[in-house]
């Protein structure tokens, strides 16, 4: 017995799984037999060394022959007689009653396992999707209530389509329906998608939401593909909107400064709400802000975008063993260096967003660095104090606010509320008009 236990320990320390354990038990039984034989021989006295009796038969001390017990025969008592008919009947009866029971239990267990078994192609993805379905039932929308229209955006994993959703009140609203591209269905994509749902439902759980965060209308999780349905913003992505303003400016000379300052206030307002809810966006950028038909800026893209982006804005890293796509040029120094993300690091990204707004949607580029620096190059530049330069025609007062978002010590950066206040001070018509004059 001691030997079996010792062998079991050996197996577990070797870290072998069931197969190894089974092999080990067989070996243990064989060795136990050997040791039992030796044990019996020792207890039988000194002459037992000359007997080779089997089946625990005793040894005759006079002539070294084996004294067979009842039912044993042969020179070494190696033959054991077959049990009588009654015994056979008992064995047959026991087997006949036990085997069907085992078979029924086996069928039930197999049935349950087969039902729960994830599809072999993406087992982990399926488990993620199952838990996703369970968590959002109160936001579930019938797919029949959506009329899908055209594609409005597609990333590496995400797919956004415009649609019309019939709401319980009976009328239709325009929605942006976001799903995961079927060919990019990975565990991390599903996780990010789920995170986006979770965050949006958190923002909308106790009230009507916030005017500067895209409104959640519902989710589709009970059929494929799964969707997140948010309000459709008719002017779509801020970055593209800024490009169109740049084009307009070339012909009209009007840079729409007031409108652009309005967007910066809107996003600061949205950020303030996120800070209140202790939500870190991690991807504040002009590509993730959308503009409504009333020209209100709204923060969008909570979660999926981190692994989604096609362009070089995001970089793969292998921090913590998990490969991620990260928006390097929008990231705070501490996020690049330590992988730390906070409301303060969102403020750093907001500074880059302000820079994008001031430069009519330019791609950020650090002086003395390549267009797409790697983490080390970027860290070195930032450590040396290099920052994005003042955009052409950007008022000094605006650039000062931008720079304050890029202070190395996160606690010294302005809060979203302070930013809102500072920008708002520039908004009174007269001052805006003066500024507008100076940048035309």
Ligand X SMILES: Nc1ncnc2c1ncn2[C@@H]1O[C@H](COP(=O)(O)OP(=O)(O)O)[C@@H](O)[C@H]1O
Binding site as annotated, residues for ATP: 178, 287
Q: Which candidate in 192, 283, 307, 346 is catalytic? A: 283
Annotated binding residues: 178, 287-288, 301
Question: Quick one: 257 or 290, whose CB is closer to ligand X?
Answer: 290
Which listed range, 71-79, 269-277, 285-293, 365-373, lies at the site for Mg ion (CB under 5 A)?
285-293
Binding partner of residue 414 among Mg ion, ligand X, none, CB cut-off 5 to 8 Å per kind: none
Residues 6+ apart with CB under 8 A from 56: 40, 69
Candidate list 212, 269, 288, 345; residue touching Mg ion; CB under 5 A: 288
Torsion, Cα 176 181 182 188, to 10 degrees, reads -110
| DSSP-based helix, strand, coil % in the chain, nearest 5 | 50, 15, 35
Sites of contact with ligand X (CB under 6 A): 152-153, 155, 158, 160, 176, 178, 214, 230-233, 236-237, 287-288, 290, 300-301, 304-305, 308
Q: Which is nearer to ligand X, 260 or 287 (CB)?
A: 287
In the three-class reduction of DSSP (H, G, I as helix; E, B as strand; rest coil), residue 81 is classed as: coil
Least distance in angstroms from the C-beta of 179 to ligand X: 10
In the complex, the smallest distance separating the C-beta of residue 180 from ligand X, rounded to whole angstroms, is: 9
Q: Which residue has the tokens 């039984």?
A: 29
User: Which are the contacts of 154, defined by CB distance < 8 A and separation ≥ 6?
Assistant: 160, 181
First to last CA, the chain: 93
Q: Which of 81, 43, 36 is nearest to 59 (CA)?
A: 43
Dihedral in degrees, nearest 10, Cα atoms 272, 274, 277, 283: -150
Quick one: which of 72, 221, 264, 305 contacts Mg ion (CB under 5 A)?
A: 305
Sign of CA dihedral 278, 280, 285, 289: negative
Window contacting Mg ion (CB under 5 A); options: 47-55, 220-228, 280-288, 360-368: 280-288
The 8-class DSSP code of residue 144 comes to: G
SS3 386: coil
The residue among 194 and 287 lying less far from ligand X, judged by its C-beta, is 287
The annotated binding site for Mg(2+) is made up of 288, 301
Residue nearest to Mg ion (CB): 305
Which of Mg ion, ligand X, none is residue 152 near (CB under 5 to 8 Å by kind)?
ligand X
Whole-angstrom distance, CA of residue 60 vs CA of residue 332: 91
The answer to whether residue 359 forms part of the interface with Mg ion (CB under 5 A) is no
How many angstroms separate the Cα of 158 from the Cα of each of 184, 189, 288, 372, 403? Answer: 8, 9, 13, 23, 33
Cis peptide leading into residue 373 (ω within 30°): no
Q: What are phi and psi of 372, to 5 degrees?
A: -125, 75
Q: How far is the CB of 159 from ligand X (least distance, A)?
A: 8
As measured in angstroms, the least distance from the Cβ of 196 to ligand X is 8
Contact residue for Mg ion among 192, 266, 301, 346 (CB under 5 A): 301
For residue 266, indicate whether it is catalytic. no
Which one, 53 or 228, has the nearer CB to ligand X?
228
Minimal distance in Å, beta carbon 310 to ligand X? Answer: 8
Which chain residues interact with Mg ion by CB under 5 A? 288, 301, 305
Residues marked active site are found at 283
């Amino acid at each position: 017995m001691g030997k079996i236990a010792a062998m079991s320990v050996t197996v577990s320390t070797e870290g072998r799984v069931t197969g190894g354990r089974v092999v080990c038990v067989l070996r243990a039984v064989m060795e136990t037999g050997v040791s039992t034989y030796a044990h019996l021989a020792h207890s039988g006295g000194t002459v037992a060394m000359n007997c080779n009796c089997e089946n625990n038969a005793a040894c005759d001390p006079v002539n070294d022959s084996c004294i067979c017990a009842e039912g044993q025969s042969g020179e070494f008592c190696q033959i054991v007689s077959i049990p009588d008919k009654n015994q056979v009947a008992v064995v047959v009866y026991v087997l006949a009653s036990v085997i069907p029971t085992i078979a029924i239990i086996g069928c039930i267990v197999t049935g349950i396992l087969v039902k729960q078994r994830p599809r072999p192609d993406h087992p982990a993805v399926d488990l993620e999707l199952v838990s996703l379905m369970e968590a959002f039932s109160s936001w579930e929308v019938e797919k029949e209530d959506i009329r899908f229209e055209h594609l409005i955006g597609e990333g590496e994993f995400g797919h956004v389509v415009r649609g019309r959703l019939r709401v319980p009140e009976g009328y239709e609203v325009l929605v942006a329906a976001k799903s995961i591209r079927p060919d990019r269905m990975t565990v991390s994509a599903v996780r990010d998608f789920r995170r986006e749902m979770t965050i949006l439902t958190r923002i909308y759980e106790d009230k009507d939401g916030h005017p500067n965060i895209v409104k959640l209308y519902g989710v589709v999780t009970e059929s494929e593909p799964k969707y997140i349905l948010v309000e459709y913003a008719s002017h779509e992505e801020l970055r593209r909107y800024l490009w169109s303003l740049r084009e307009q400016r070339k012909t009209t000379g009007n840079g729409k400064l007031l409108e652009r300052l309005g967007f910066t206030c809107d996003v600061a307002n949205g950020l303030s709400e996120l800070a209140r809810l202790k939500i870190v966006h991690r991807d504040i950028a002009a590509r993730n802000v959308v503009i409504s038909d009333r020209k209100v800026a709204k923060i969008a893209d909570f979660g999926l975008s981190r692994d989604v982006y096609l362009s070089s804005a995001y970089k793969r890293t292998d921090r913590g063993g998990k490969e991620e796509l990260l928006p390097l040029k929008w990231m705070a120094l501490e996020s690049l260096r330590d992988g730390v993300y906070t409301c303060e690091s969102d403020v750093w990204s907001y500074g880059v967003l302000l820079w994008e707004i001031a430069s009519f949607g330019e791609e950020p580029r650090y002086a003395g660095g390549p267009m797409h620096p790697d983490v080390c190059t970027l860290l070195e530049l930032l450590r040396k104090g290099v920052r994005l330069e003042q955009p052409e025609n950007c008022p000094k007062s605006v650039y000062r606010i931008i720079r304050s978002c890029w202070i190395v010590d996160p606690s010294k950066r302005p809060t979203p509320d302070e930013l809102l206040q500072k920008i708002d001070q520039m908004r009174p018509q007269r001052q805006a008009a003066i500024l507008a004059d100076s940048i035309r």
